[in-house]
Amino acid sequence: MHETSHAVWLLTAALLASLVGMAWLALAMPAHGQQVWGAPIPPAHARVLRLLGAVALAASLALCLASDHASMAALVWVMSLAGGAFATAMALAWRARWLAVLAPWIGIANTAATR
């Protein structure tokens, strides 16, 4: 594979990981869980979402470091974090229920818990 296209794929994956990581961290918060599922999420699910979010953000950093030298990778990573946070905030403000796709097991647990 050509080196430029390899870097593009790595950066695309890093941006996606930042977006998903920020969304998982947001979904771990009680207020956002209420927005998305209509009920607070159980603490165990919140811990899992926080862990997944942290792992996704770490993976995003690793992908950025794999695509470029450290100083540029750090800059791109911070910008991807900002972009992921902004996109997550807009999704929560506009179509919060769309984020339920990122944690389908929670919707099932909340439905069973409210019965």
C-beta of residue 4 within 8 angstroms of C-beta of residue 70:
no
**Structure confidence by residue, pLDDT tens digits, 18-69:** 999 999 999 999 999 999 999 889 999 999 999 999 999 999 999 999 999 9
Does residue 115 carry a pLDDT above 60?
A: no
pTM for the whole thing? 0.88
Is residue 108 very low, low, confident or very high in pLDDT (cuts 50, 70, 90)? low
Helix (DSSP H) and strand (DSSP E) numbers for the chain = 5, 0
Q: Where are the domains of the chain?
A: 3-114
